[in-house]
Amino acid sequence: MKLGARFKKEDGRLEKAARETQSAEVPEGLFKKCNMCKAPVYVEEVKENLYICPKCHGYFRMSAYKRIASVVEPGTFERWDEGLKTSNPLNYKGYEDKITALQEKTGLDEAVVTGTGLIGANKVVLAVCDGRFMMASMGHVVGEKITRAVERATEEKLPVIIFACSGGARMQEGIVSLMQMAKTSAALKRHSDAGNLYISVLTDPTTGGVTASFAMLGDIILAEPNALIGFAGPRVIEQTIGQKLPKGFQRAEFLLDHGFVDAIVKREEMHDTLKSILDMHRVDAIDLEEQTVRCEVKDTGMSAWDKVLISRKKDRPVGMDYIDNCFTDFIEFHGDRYFSDDHCIVGGIAYFKGMPVTVIAQCKGKTTKENVFRNFGMPSPDGYRKALRLMKQAEKFNRPVICFVDTPGAFCGLEAEERGQGEAIARNLYEMSGLKVPVFSLIIGEGGSGGALAMAVSDEVWMLENSVYSILSPEGYASILWKDSSLAKDAARVMKMTAKDLYEMKVVDGIIKEPEKFNDDSFYKVATQVKIAIEGFLYRQGKKSKEELLEARYERFRKF
């Protein structure tokens, strides 16, 4: 019902003697327009909220000092190498004036701030680019400050964190700017060779020569959501190829999908994420206890084929279940740094009973949707390359590697062949045989051929009681040898693919007992057994020197 028109409104007839009317007005700079959602936002609120738009949660760019304050413990930051003089190697007209003007305007001496500070209890070396200063392009001073900071970090054995944000090389300095790419990369190489951690954080925008040097060299590369990251700028690419670029092209999420970013981290979670990663790289190996798991397997009367069927059952716990239940504080790292992020292999770092470890699992899904996402547990070359990348990372930081194997086989498809499925598997066998840290593999379901072996060239390979491990699926075996895949049942029997057979053949070193039926309760018991097996393994391997470890691993496979 409309009442509005019937109500009498105030006509001012009874208004008391008027005082001067006060007029409201919005002072300059109180609001600004959000670049992303275009809504007006209260600047104060944006500042308080880590420069995140309160309306659309889009990110405003952050100045170097604001950024430092958002990740470093208050009062712990100490600046390094202030006041280096910008050179003008090309005698570019007006360059000095421009620098002076920017120095006055921003209060910065150049486009990067370097120094040291604490994140949690971790002393780190920081370099943070500031886009207000010539879009943080890398000239001599930027390269020099970063190089000096990295060199000092190498000397003092400290981790480096660089927040990248840059338009690329600084054109005004010409070839000298190009040399900064080599210089910073070389300093990082020495830092890395000395076994130190470098975390690169990519913020909007990271492009050109910075992307093609220090920004992409992190042991761990994080990115802020929606940050533009690329070598050539999108406008340049569009003009060159004469095509419109797809939505989301060169954004952080695009890079994650294409395997170049380990994780996208929200600004409000950046401090805690950095702290967790740094903590995991600071904690040393801890003492574990000697553990033994009894490995006799009673004959339950099940045929090999029964076990094949059980190992493929839909409700069987998957790789993620083991990651969630056997470890704590798991941080997932994505991507192979070449082409893609294979969702079928999940890897990252976590604590095992307080000890940092690298965990890599082949993961099937639990629902059809999840299985499509995880490609039904069939890894692509990108997955194996990611696994290898994480193993190499583990080796650098002296972390044991724990693998969970569960695959019907490596993905059989056009794209997989195009990207070298065979090469990827071979490379893993090759590199794993020489990996200087203990490697443990547990087959939790299907151990399908080379696809499984690429994560099982380990010091010890264990199996769940009803899992299987074979050269080929019994269907394939029957089809090749007997030209009839329907004889799979018989094939399973002769192939010796059950845990018991393989234990007797010394292909596997241990067996974890399984319950009749998996539920929360019985899985908890299995996970407990798995933890005991891992602990025992780490105890045994921890006693060995690197040479002994590698020799034993070599012999383990040499004997066949």
Partner 1 sequence: MIHKILIANRGEIAVRIIRACRELGIQSVAVYSEADKDALHAQLADEAVCIGPAASKDSYLNMENIISATINTGAEAIHPGFGFLSENQKFAKLCEECNITFIGPSSEIIRKMGNKTEARNTMIEAGVTVIPGWNQDVESVEEGKEIAAKLGYPVIVKAALGGGGKGMRVAMNEEEFENAYLTARKEAGAAFGDDSVYMEHFIEHPRHVEVQILADSYGNVVHLGERDCSIQRNHQKFIEEAPCKAISEELRKRMGEEAVKAAKAVGYENAGTIEFLLENEKDFYFMEMNTRIQVEHPVTEWITGVDLIKEQIKIASGEKLDFTQEEVKLEGHSIECRINAENPEKNFRPSPGKIENLYLPGGKGIRMDTAIYSGYEIPPYYDSMIAKLIVHGTTREEALRKMRSALGEVIIEGIDTNVDYLYEMISDMAEQEILGGES
Cα(298)–Cα(224) distance, rounded to whole angstroms?
A: 53
19 binds partner 1 (CB under 8 A): yes
74 binds partner 1 (CB under 8 A): no
Q: How far is the CB of 54 from partner 1 (least distance, A)?
A: 9
Residue 297 burial (CB < 10 Å; 0-12/13-18/19+)?
middle
Stretch that binds partner 1, among 36-44, 291-299, 429-437, 533-541 (CB under 8 A): 36-44
Cα(546)–Cα(556) distance, rounded to whole angstroms?
A: 15
- If the CB atoms of residues 9 and 517 are measured against partner 1, the closer one turns out to be 9
* Token code pair at residue 427: 């490379």
**Site for partner 1 (CB under 8 A): which residue of 38, 42, 471, 554?**
42
Q: How far is the CB of 57 from partner 1 (least distance, A)?
A: 12
Cβ atoms of residues 552 and 482 within 8 Å: no
Stretch that binds partner 1, among 15-23, 150-158, 438-446, 500-508 (CB under 8 A): 15-23
What is the rounded (10 degree) CA torsion for 179, 182, 184, 190? -140
- If the CB atoms of residues 44 and 418 are measured against partner 1, the closer one turns out to be 44
Cα(202)–Cα(211) distance, rounded to whole angstroms?
A: 9
Cβ atoms of residues 305 and 474 within 8 Å: yes
* Token code pair at residue 101: 């003007």
Q: Which residues contact 211 (CB under 8 A, 6 or more apart)?
A: 164, 166, 168, 229, 230, 231
22 binds partner 1 (CB under 8 A): yes
Stretch that binds partner 1, among 42-50, 124-132, 185-193, 290-298 (CB under 8 A): 42-50
25 binds partner 1 (CB under 8 A): yes
- If the CB atoms of residues 47 and 313 are measured against partner 1, the closer one turns out to be 47
Q: Which residues contact 528 (CB under 8 A, 6 or more apart)?
A: none
Cβ atoms of residues 142 and 104 within 8 Å: no
Q: Measure Cα distances from 455 to 22, 204, 348, 489 in Å.
A: 75, 36, 15, 27
Question: Per DSSP, what are the bridge partners of residue 355?
Answer: 352
18 binds partner 1 (CB under 8 A): yes
Neighbours of 357 (CB within 10 A): 25
2 binds partner 1 (CB under 8 A): yes
241 binds partner 1 (CB under 8 A): no
Stretch that binds partner 1, among 4-12, 63-71, 155-163, 356-364 (CB under 8 A): 4-12
Q: How far is the CB of 227 from partner 1 (least distance, A)?
A: 24
Cα(144)–Cα(86) distance, rounded to whole angstroms?
A: 10
**Site for partner 1 (CB under 8 A): which residue of 35, 37, 40, 508?**
40
Q: How far is the CB of 8 from partner 1 (least distance, A)?
A: 9
Residue 186 amino acid letter: A
269 binds partner 1 (CB under 8 A): no
Extract long-range pairs of 416-420: CB within 8 Å, 24+ residues apart. 416/380, 416/381, 419/339, 419/380, 419/381, 419/382, 420/381
Total residues binding partner 1 (CB under 8 A): 29
26 binds partner 1 (CB under 8 A): yes
- If the CB atoms of residues 44 and 504 are measured against partner 1, the closer one turns out to be 44
12 binds partner 1 (CB under 8 A): yes
Stretch that binds partner 1, among 5-13, 141-149, 201-209, 438-446 (CB under 8 A): 5-13
Q: How far is the CB of 225 from partner 1 (least distance, A)?
A: 18
- If the CB atoms of residues 20 and 290 are measured against partner 1, the closer one turns out to be 20
28 binds partner 1 (CB under 8 A): no
44 binds partner 1 (CB under 8 A): yes
- If the CB atoms of residues 57 and 98 are measured against partner 1, the closer one turns out to be 57
Residue 216 burial (CB < 10 Å; 0-12/13-18/19+)?
buried
Question: Per DSSP, what are the bridge partners of residue 462?
Answer: 442, 510
80 binds partner 1 (CB under 8 A): no
Q: How far is the CB of 42 from partner 1 (least distance, A)?
A: 6
Cβ atoms of residues 79 and 114 within 8 Å: yes
- If the CB atoms of residues 7 and 560 are measured against partner 1, the closer one turns out to be 7
* Token code pair at residue 526: 């299995």
Q: Could you tell me whether strands 40-42 and 198-207 are parallel, antiparallel, or unpaired per DSSP bridges? A: unpaired
**Site for partner 1 (CB under 8 A): which residue of 21, 243, 367, 519?**
21
37 binds partner 1 (CB under 8 A): no
* Token code pair at residue 72: 């470093």
16 binds partner 1 (CB under 8 A): yes
- If the CB atoms of residues 1 and 241 are measured against partner 1, the closer one turns out to be 1
Q: How far is the CB of 279 from partner 1 (least distance, A)?
A: 17
Cα(210)–Cα(215) distance, rounded to whole angstroms?
A: 6
Cα(365)–Cα(346) distance, rounded to whole angstroms?
A: 12
Residues that bind partner 1 (CB under 8 A): 1-4, 7, 9-10, 12-16, 18-19, 21-27, 30-31, 39-42, 44-45
